[in-house]
Amino acid sequence: MDPVDLALCLAVDVSASVDFDEFGLMAGGYAAAFRDTGIGALCAAGPHGAVAVAMLFWSGMTPGPELAVPWLRLDGPATAAGFADAIDAAPRQPLPGATALGEGMAAGLALLARCPAEATRLVLDVSGDGRHNQGRPPGPVRDIGVAAGVTLNALAVLNEEPDLLEHYRAEVIGGPGSFAMACPDYAAFADAIREKLRREITGLLLARRDGLSALSS
């Protein structure tokens, strides 16, 4: 794979707190974001003219995180829409379980290390609706990622835990330009993830405030 401006791993919570309908809204939100022609155009706007993106589903320790969509090079709206199609086709894996947030983050960092393209920036995008309650704690995993040059960002869905954003700010995000955002529920997920992807792809350090709750680290 040719060099890219950004390698972006999307680490998505599919634990038991995410029911079937919520999973559909979440996956559909990611797919809609990548079908947005503005997002597709941003993918091609950097010096290398492309970004590499992969998606990981994580839940509990057993059976562990699973690769949902392998690395794809997105160099405009057409390839970004192809990534959206791959999200739509991805089955829900792993089986719903506990919230092993640290394990999901570690799997995301390992996936970034295996990106087949040389990337100018490395970003781990974590989204979910609950605190970690199984496996290694997320804070030390975050520190490993930061030491390796990765920026970790987070989107907290507040329908289960209204104070989850603070947990993500304290334990998940880190690295240059890192940020945490919140949305009230999965119905608002599509708009929130579109804004999050826009910030991650462009590398903006300041949040746009489009009626969503967004806090910088």
Q: What whole-number distance in Å separates Cα of residue 118 and Cα of residue 188?
A: 34
Tell me if 209 is assigned to some domain: no
Residue found by looking up tokens 């605190």 in the block: 131
**Tally of domains in the chain:** 1
More confident position, 162 or 212: 162
Contact between residue 43 and residue 51 where contact means Cβ atoms under 8 Å apart: yes
Confidence of residue 169 (pLDDT cuts 50, 70, 90): very high
How far apart (Å, rounded) are the C-alpha atoms in residues 139 and 208?
27
For residue 129, being part of any structural domain is answered with yes
**Cβ neighbours for 208, distance < 8 A, ≥ 6 positions apart:** 195, 198, 199, 214
Does 212 reside within a domain?
no
Category of 13 on φ-ψ map: left (φ > 0), alpha (ψ -120 to 50) or beta = beta
* Tens-digit pLDDT profile for residues 77-89: 999 999 999 999 9
- CATH number of the domain within which 62 lies: 3.40.50.410
Kindly report the backbone phi and psi dihedral angles of residue 48, in degrees, each rounded to the nearest multiple of 5, phi listed first.
Answer: -85, -10
The answer as to whether 97 is a domain residue is: yes
The range of the structural domain enclosing residue 39 comes to 4-203
d(CA 149, CA 25): 32
Q: Is 208 part of any domain?
A: no
The reported pTM is: 0.89
Mean confidence (pLDDT) of the chain: 89
Q: Specify the pLDDT at position 93.
A: 63
| CB contact at 8 A, 53 and 70 | no
Chain segment 71-119, per-residue pLDDT in tens: 999 999 999 999 999 999 998 765 667 888 999 999 999 999 999 999 9
- Cβ atoms of 23 and 31 closer than 8 Å: no
Domain assignment of residue 214, yes or no: no
What are the tens digits of pLDDT across the range 179-196? Answer: 999 999 989 999 999 999
pLDDT higher than 50, residue 209: no
Asked, for residue 213, whether it belongs to a domain, the answer is: no
